[in-house]
Amino acid sequence: MKPFELKYVAGQQGLLREALHNWGISKRTLASVKYGGGQITVNGKEVTVRHPLEPGDAVTVVFPLEELGKGLQAEKGDLKIVFEDDSLLIVDKPPLQNTIPSREHPSGSLANIVAKHFEENEIPATLHIATRLDRDTSGLVCIAKNRHIHHMLSIQQQEKKMSRRYEALVHGRVDHERFTITAPIGRKNSSIIEREVRADGQFAETEVRLLKVFSDFSHVQLKLNTGRTHQIRVHLAHINHPLVGDDLYGGSRELISRQALHCRELEMIHPVTGEALKFKSANREDMLSLIK
């Protein structure tokens, strides 16, 4: 089983430690390399972070092998892979599937099935899910194959270099073609699951674009500018347009058996190559049948 590694070329003189920092490798990652069985070499020779670099030096960082969490059972299942390389796995999650196991659904989750994929392909990684979706929500999920890659993706999200667009069906007739919902979100005092808009909550912002109005509902596109738990669901309920099928936040299940929300597009920068990536996922049949 080959460990994950990254290769760099020094552009100027300086300590290796400074170059690694500039390449986005955190102190925590360096500690895991040093004490967890990893290795750093310059021109093929193992060195410490105090090694002086010259322009053109070839630096290789070999990351420690990772093990799957003991509580996660690898399971066979359907896995729709949109993109995969040594660093990333982008998959298209169906509705009514947990992203990770829960007490109510300990098996059959996306994480269980990805764990089996890693096992069968000898990928030495545990699960690093960068963009988690609710059980009912379908669409694109981004998974990192290494702790360092997960760290790089987290930075992208903080710097708003990763973008997700959703499509949804909401109750009522949305009046405006484009608008932004800016309202802080926090946990509801009476629930460990439910969230609500509240003054002491975390800043949250969702952009809304109207696609079409129907007699009983509206078809909208949504862009997350922050990533709070249940953000889309809470924000839409807050403006009295809850998701169709989202009975936790005031929606009805008369038209569809799950919340009508689909992660349709994912844009990001590849954390290793720097390439701009864009992925798309077709809407699910249950939502399409209502739109048609």
Interval 92-150: pLDDT, tens = 999 999 999 888 888 899 999 999 999 999 888 888 999 999 999 999 999 999 889 99
Average pLDDT over residues 249-269: 96
pLDDT band at 247 (very low <50, low <70, confident <90, very high): very high
Nearest to 135 by CA among 176, 91, 97, 79: 97
pLDDT of 1 strictly over 80 = no
Annotated catalytic residue, options 57, 78, 92, 134: 134
Average pLDDT over residues 176-184: 97
* Cα(1)–Cα(4) distance, integer angstroms: 10
Average pLDDT over residues 87-95: 97
Query: Which tokens go with 48?
Result: 């410490």
Nearest to 123 by CA among 2, 249, 279, 246: 2
pLDDT band at 229 (very low <50, low <70, confident <90, very high): very high
Active-site residue, 134 included? yes
Average pLDDT over residues 231-242: 98
Rounded to two decimals, the pTM is 0.90
Nearest to 263 by CA among 164, 156, 134: 164
pLDDT of 57 strictly over 80 = yes
- Is beta strand 81-84 parallel, antiparallel or unpaired with respect to 88-93? antiparallel
pLDDT of 46 strictly over 80 = yes
Q: Which residues of 55-213 form beta strands (DSSP E)? A: 58-62, 81-84, 88-93, 128-129, 138-144, 163-171, 178-182, 185-187, 195-197, 205-213
pLDDT of 66 strictly over 90 = no
